[in-house]
Amino acid sequence: MNLMPDQNRAAERKLHFDRIGLSAFLDEAFPGASRPSYGQVVSVEVDHVRMTLQPREEMLRPGDIVSGGSQMQFIDGAAYAVVLAHVGPVAMAVTHTLNVSFLRACRRETMIADARLMKLGRRLATVDVRLWQGSEDRLVAQSTVGYALP
Query: Applying CB under 8 A, which residues contact a second copy?
Result: 8, 10-11, 29-30, 32-34, 37, 57-62, 67-70, 72-74, 76-77, 94-105, 118-119, 123-124, 126, 128, 137, 139, 142, 144, 146, 148
Report, in Å, the least distance between residue 134 CB and a second copy: 11
**Please, what is the minimum distance in Å from the beta carbon of residue 99 to a second copy?**
3
| C-beta of 34 vs 43, nearer to a second copy | 34
49 vs 127 by CB, closer to a second copy: 127
Pick between residue 24 and residue 105 the one whose CB is nearest to a second copy. 105
- Number of residues that this document lists for the chain: 150
For residue 106, the one-letter residue type is C
Nearer to a second copy, 42 or 98 (CB): 98
